[in-house]
Amino acid sequence: MRFWLVLQQLALLVLIITTDALNNNETDHVSLLAMKSKILDPFGGGALSSWNESSHFCNWEGVLCGKRHKRVTLIDLTSLGLSGTLSPHVGNLTFLRRLWLDNNSFHGEIPNEIGGLYRLKELVLQRNSFQGRIPVSLSRCSSLAYLYFGSNNLVGTIPEEFSSLSMLKKINVYENNLTGGVPKFLGNITSLQGFSASYNLFGGTIPNNLGQLKNLVFLGLAGNQISGMIPSSLYNLSNLIVLSLPFNHLHGSLPPYIGNMFPHLERLELHVNNFTGQLPNSIGNLTKVVNLSFAVNKFSGKLTVDFSKLVNLLILHLHVDNLGSGDFDEMNFLESLTNCSSLEMLIINRNQLRGVLPDLVGNLSSNMNFFTLDSNQLQGRIPPTIGNLVNLSFLNMEDNRFTGPIPCTIGKLQKLQRFSLGRNQLSGTIPDSIGNLSLVNDLSFSNNNLEGTIPSSIATAKD
């Protein structure tokens, strides 16, 4: 018994000594050459041609060494068009802190040996074709802060063992085939600032304890199969800049206070889920917001949000909800939107809007280039002021109950490429000014009571 114990200790000692002895600059040299031997450089050896014996490896392209110890601390092979595999020898570069292989065509598995890089802080493997599982061994790299695996072909789960990586700031694994859902242990990594796992095969729910991540600024879970409600703890994440949860199976209504919780939020993306209820007025307090997307849900009722403080808003995306009250003035929310001087896209088609389009539609941002109102039940005439939106390239008003003439001010929309007024109850003659819309390649006036012809000047763009 005692003999075996001594022998074991002896073996451990030998192991430590040999590891130390081998952990020298020659190891780095050998390891880099071993890595090179697995890399295919399609540009005739261009990128890695400096990795040769004519100079010290610390001078090789993409290699950085510590000044004193001459050991490799950074490998930067970003965007060099490289393919091949990542050699297990990489695990011997024990001084390595940053490994950047972003945007190449590496394939094969991420070698387990990478877990030997106990000083590693940044592992950037995104935008390659790495396969297999995320190595559990990485949990030994306790200094890891940035783990970028996005856009590869990885499968399996994010290993439980990563719960010990208490220095992690950013994890991105977007666009892989990962399963298993958002790991609960993430809630314990309080240093976490960003978690991006969009477009994987995550099921399950959003863990409640993510609400503990006070430093979180980015949460991206788009395009998974996540169900349940947004846990109320999430509304405590007051540093969030991006909350992106579209293309999932989330349900429930948004709490009335949602817009008062995120003073820094720039992107709120909830489209293509099963959310219900009214859009809370507090959304008007998301003063930093740039992109608001609620489309393809079951939101309903009158839109009463005052948007006037959202001066950075670029995109308001509300199509295929059930918004609408039937009130004559229900389009008056447009008034507050006139203060959003950056607004470029306003998408409010396929709702139940039945009011009239107010004249102040022409006071919307002159930056507007995409405007869809179609498939509602809007009534009354089309305000001539619409001709003020001179940067529109896409205007769809079809399938409503607009009456009266087409305003000739439409001719001022010189940048229009697609324009549809079909399936309304418009009457009168088609104004000549339509002939000025030289860029239009998709024009529809069908199913109205219009007279006259589409001017020959744009005869190619016909009904």
Ligand X SMILES: *[C@@H]1O[C@H](CO)[C@@H](O)[C@H](O)[C@H]1NC(C)=O
Please give the residue ranges that form the binding site for ligand X (CB under 6 A).
22, 25, 27, 29-31, 49-50, 52, 54-56, 70, 79, 81, 88-89, 91-92, 103, 113, 163, 184-185, 188, 211, 232-233, 236, 260, 281-282, 285, 308-309, 311, 335, 338-339, 341, 360, 363, 411, 432-433, 436
Q: Which is nearer to ligand X, 126 or 198 (CB)?
A: 126
Q: How far is the CB of 282 from ligand X (least distance, A)?
A: 4
Q: Which is nearer to ligand X, 311 or 377 (CB)?
A: 311
Q: How far is the CB of 63 from ligand X (least distance, A)?
A: 11
Q: Which is nearer to ligand X, 198 or 282 (CB)?
A: 282
CB contact at 8 A, 281 and 301: no
Q: HSE (CB half, 13 Å, CA atoms) of 379?
A: 9
Q: How many Cβ atoms from other residues are within 10 Å of residue 279's Cβ?
A: 26
What is d(CA 157, CA 437) in angstroms, rounded to the nearest whole number?
A: 54
How does DSSP classify residue 12? H
Copy the structure tokens of residue 382. Answer: 């089309």
Q: How far is the CB of 136 from ligand X (least distance, A)?
A: 15
CA end-to-end span of the chain, whole Å? Answer: 93
In one-letter notation, the amino acid at residue 120 is L
Q: What are phi and psi of 361, to 5 degrees?
A: -55, -30
Q: Which is nearer to ligand X, 89 or 423 (CB)?
A: 89
Q: Which is nearer to ligand X, 217 or 364 (CB)?
A: 364
CB contact at 8 A, 126 and 101: no
Q: How far is the CB of 66 from ligand X (least distance, A)?
A: 12
Q: How many Cβ atoms from other residues are within 10 Å of residue 432's Cβ?
A: 12
Q: How many Cβ atoms from other residues are within 10 Å of residue 13's Cβ?
A: 10
The CA–CA distances, whole Å, from 177 to 85, 105, 172, 173, 203 equal 20, 17, 13, 9, 12
Q: How far is the CB of 463 from ligand X (least distance, A)?
A: 20
Q: How far is the CB of 143 from ligand X (least distance, A)?
A: 20
Q: How far is the CB of 91 from ligand X (least distance, A)?
A: 5
Copy the structure tokens of residue 4. Answer: 């075996």
What is d(CA 135, CA 154) in angstroms, rounded to the nearest whole number?
A: 10
In Å, the largest CA–CA distance within the chain is: 106
Q: Which is nearer to ligand X, 341 or 429 (CB)?
A: 341
Q: How far is the CB of 6 from ligand X (least distance, A)?
A: 26
Q: Which is nearer to ligand X, 185 or 193 (CB)?
A: 185
Q: How far is CA 176 from the centre of its chain?
A: 14
By three-state DSSP, how is residue 241 classified? Answer: coil
Q: How far is the CB of 359 from ligand X (least distance, A)?
A: 7
Q: How far is the CB of 184 from ligand X (least distance, A)?
A: 4
Candidates 403, 419, 463, 454; CA nearest to 433 is 454
How does DSSP classify residue 319? T
Q: How far is the CB of 29 from ligand X (least distance, A)?
A: 5
What is d(CA 405, CA 427) in angstroms, rounded to the nearest whole number?
A: 5
Q: Which is nearer to ligand X, 9 or 308 (CB)?
A: 308
Copy the structure tokens of residue 333. Answer: 């929310």
β-pairing verdict for 394-396 and 315-317: unpaired
Q: Which is nearer to ligand X, 69 or 425 (CB)?
A: 69
Copy the structure tokens of residue 402. Answer: 């607009």
Using alpha carbons only, give the angle 371, 374, 375 rounded to the nearest 5 degrees: 155
The CA–CA distances, whole Å, from 257 to 164, 234, 240, 429 equal 35, 12, 15, 50
Q: How far is the CB of 285 from ligand X (least distance, A)?
A: 4
What is d(CA 105, CA 79) in angstroms, rounded to the nearest whole number?
A: 9
